[in-house]
């Protein structure tokens, strides 16, 4: 790596007031032709380019980003990472990602602040209890760590939770995945960008795709705001805007794009040292290293690309948060924002070839794509390089909506996951 970060480089740069750090990635103009072009410079897209260069020896790659890298959903999520999914296919996919997360800072030589602080999922009714217990068993059969906690153990693990049994959604127990946790979302995008750039990938920001050129069944290139770019392989990782790109190629996807909101509070001293999720009441909370509570809310129930979200959704989430954590009743919320998530009918992603040669889609991550970033990039790179899916993403093909072989994770994850 051209500019390795270490304690020595830190000390050396301290002598020059940290003014001589080299740029972590370049700002090139697009070339006329690339071996592969990735559309979308979020975590998933940058990771795809990184693994294409690293594992599949493709050097002439570009990542096109219409805004700035990591400015979409990568910078808008609540940074939760876990792999405790019900079905075998999902467990394989998300645990593959979790295993990469565990060594990612070292691999990228970039501190992504991965913190395995555990993720606890609460049960609020009898059906939740049954579903979560079943999921715990399924996880353990798949080699994923998971334990069931009763109400008292939940309280021990996270003392600020209100376990009173006469509230609207009483805590009847929960599951805990200790290997799960959080990572710094921006750092993930920046780390992958730096890694990809070092291997010669062109990261082109402020470059929006306007059209896809096809010759019969084969893609030929892309029209962009920076001119035409010739390529035989296009990997689309455009999250909420996947359908917009698909429509350019004359393709329809089984997706609906909806705003998903999150918000953060004013920073306070450490009060919650884990991640607590409550699917039934749409409330997710953790605390950032800066001390802000990071709260995830639900999606708006209609298609919209507005990146803001409705007030009533936030209100519903905060009501649930206050009931579960009365200690937060006088906290002030600092910022609220929305990201556009692309939701599949079965709440599972698509990492797939299409019936157009050279056009690949990685989309449908819905409300829970951040946790899969490294695994998604790795498997999508494999799919693009070999023109065949890896065995871990074979089930997540586009054809499952024709065959009916869906990976229905709604039951396991309720709404957001």
Token couple for 184: 């710094």
User: Does the protein bind another protein through residue 40 (CB under 8 A)?
Assistant: no
Between residues 388 and 405, which has the closer beta carbon with respect to another protein? Answer: 405
**Nearer to another protein among residue 46 and residue 255 (C-beta):** 255
Residues that contact another protein, how many (by CB under 8 A) = 26
Site for another protein contains 209 (CB under 8 A): no
Query: Which residue among 7, 14, 126, 402 contacts another protein (CB under 8 A)?
Result: 402
Closest to 367 measured CA to CA, from 413, 412, 327, 401: 413
Kindly list the distances between the CA atom of residue 349 and the CA atoms of 79, 143, 368, 409, in Å, as whole numbers in the listed order.
18, 22, 9, 10
C-alpha separations of 276 from 47, 120, 415 in Å: 27, 5, 15
Binding flag, residue 227, another protein (CB under 8 A)? no
Under 8 Å between Cβ of 335 and 395: no
Beta carbon nearer to another protein, 169 or 401: 401
Shortest spacing between CB 353 and another protein, in angstroms = 16
Q: Token digits for 77?
A: 């999520």
Interface residue with another protein, options 53, 253, 272, 320 (CB under 8 A) = 253
**Contact string 155-194 vs another protein (x = CB under 8 A):** ----------------------------------------
**Considering only residues 48, 78, 243, 362, which one is a binding residue for another protein as defined by CB under 8 A?**
243
Q: Is 3 in the site for another protein (CB under 8 A)?
A: no
What is the H or E stretch that residue 413 is in? helix 410-413
Q: Which of 311, 326, 335, 387 binds another protein (CB under 8 A)?
A: 311
Distance of alpha carbon 124 from alpha carbon 416, whole angstroms: 16
Report yes or no: 42 and 73 within 8 Å, Cβ to Cβ.
Answer: yes
Map the footprint of another protein across residues 314-343, applying CB under 8 A: 342
- Regarding 84 and contact with another protein (CB under 8 A), the answer is no
Dihedral of alpha carbons 230, 235, 240, 244, sign: positive
- With contact defined as beta carbons under 8 Å apart, do 313 and 302 qualify? no
Name which of 246 and 381 has its Cβ closer to another protein.
Answer: 246
3-state secondary structure of 306: coil
Helix (H, G, I), strand (E, B) or coil at 352: strand
- Does residue 306 interact with another protein by CB under 8 A? yes
Is residue 68 part of the contact set for another protein (CB under 8 A)? Answer: no
250 binds another protein per the rule CB under 8 A: no
Which of 215, 232, 197, 230 shows the shortest CA–CA distance to 384?
Answer: 232
Q: CA 340 to CA 73: how far, in whole Å?
A: 7
Cβ proximity to another protein, 88 vs 315, nearer residue: 315
217 contacts another protein (rule: CB under 8 A): no
Q: Which is nearer to another protein, 115 or 261 (CB)?
A: 261
363 near another protein, rule: CB under 8 A: no
Contacting residue, 3, 345, 387, 391, with another protein by CB under 8 A: 345
Among 121, 139, 261, 310, binds another protein (CB under 8 A): 310
- Structure tokens that stand for 217 in this block: 């069944």
Contacting range for another protein; rule: CB under 8 A; set: 97-105, 109-117, 296-304, 378-386: 296-304
3-class DSSP state for residue 334?
Answer: strand
Distance, in Å, from the CA atom of 235 to the CA atom of 37, rounded to the nearest integer, reads 6
Q: Which stretch binds another protein (CB under 8 A): 124-132, 207-215, 274-282, 298-306?
A: 298-306
Among the listed residues 17, 250, 312, 332, the single contact to another protein using CB under 8 A: 312
Binding segment for another protein (CB under 8 A), chosen from 33-41, 210-218, 236-244, 330-338, is 236-244
Q: Which is nearer to another protein, 93 or 255 (CB)?
A: 255
The CA distance from 317 to 261, in Å, is 10
Q: Does residue 119 contact residue 84 with C-beta atoms inside 8 Å?
A: yes
Give the residue carrying structure tokens 């399924």: 138
CA 44/CA 86 separation, integer angstroms: 23
Residue 270: DSSP 8-state: -
Binding site for another protein (CB under 8 A): 241, 243-244, 247, 252-257, 300-306, 310-312, 342, 345, 401-404
């Amino acid at each position: 790596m051209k500019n390795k970060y270490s304690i020595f480089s830190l000390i050396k740069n301290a002598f020059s007031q940290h003014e001589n750090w080299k740029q972590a990635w370049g700002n090139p103009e697009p070339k006329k032709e690339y071996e592969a072009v990735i559309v979308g410079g979020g975590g998933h897209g940058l990771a795809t380019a990184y693994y294409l260069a690293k594992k599949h020896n493709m050097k002439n790659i570009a990542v096109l980003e219409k805004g700035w890298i990591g400015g979409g959903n990568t910078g808008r999520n609540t940074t939760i990472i876990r792999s405790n999914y019900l079905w075998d296919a999902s467990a394989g996919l998300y645990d593959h990602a979790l295993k990469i997360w565990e060594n990612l800072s070292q691999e990228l030589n970039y501190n992504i602040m991965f913190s395995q602080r555990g993720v606890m999922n609460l049960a609020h009714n009898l059906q939740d209890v049954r579903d979560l217990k079943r999921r715990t068993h399924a996880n353990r059969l798949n080699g994923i760590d998971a334990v069931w906690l009763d109400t008292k153990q939940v309280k021990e693990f996270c003392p600020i939770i209100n376990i009173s049994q006469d509230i609207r959604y009483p805590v009847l127990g929960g599951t805990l995945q200790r290997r799960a946790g959080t990572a710094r979302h921006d750092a993930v995008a920046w780390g992958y960008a730096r890694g990809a750039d070092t291997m010669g990938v062109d990261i082109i920001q402020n470059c929006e795709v306007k059209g896809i050129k096809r010759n019969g069944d084969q893609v030929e290139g892309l029209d962009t705001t920076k001119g035409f770019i010739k390529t035989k392989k296009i990997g689309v990782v455009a999250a909420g805007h996947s359908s917009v790109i698909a429509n350019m190629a004359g393709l329809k996807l089984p997706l609906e794009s909806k705003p998903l909101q999150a918000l953060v509070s004013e920073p306070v001293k450490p009060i919650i040292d884990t991640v607590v999720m409550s699917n039934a009441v749409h409330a997710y909370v953790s605390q950032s290293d800066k001390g802000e509570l990071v709260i995830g809310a639900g999606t708006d129930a209609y298609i919209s690309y507005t990146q803001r979200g409705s007030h009533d959704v936030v209100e519903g989430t905060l009501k649930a948060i206050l009931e579960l954590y009365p200690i937060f009743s006088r906290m002030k919320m600092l910022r609220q924002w929305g990201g556009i998530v692309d939701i599949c009918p079965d709440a599972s992603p698509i990492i797939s070839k299409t019936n157009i040669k050279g056009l690949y889609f990685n989309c449908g991550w819905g409300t829970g794509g951040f946790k899969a970033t490294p695994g998604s990039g790795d498997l999508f790179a494999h799919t693009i390089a070999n023109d065949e899916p890896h065995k871990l993403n074979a089930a997540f093909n586009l054809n499952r909506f024709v065959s009916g072989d869906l990976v229905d994770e709604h039951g396991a994850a309720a709404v957001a996951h």
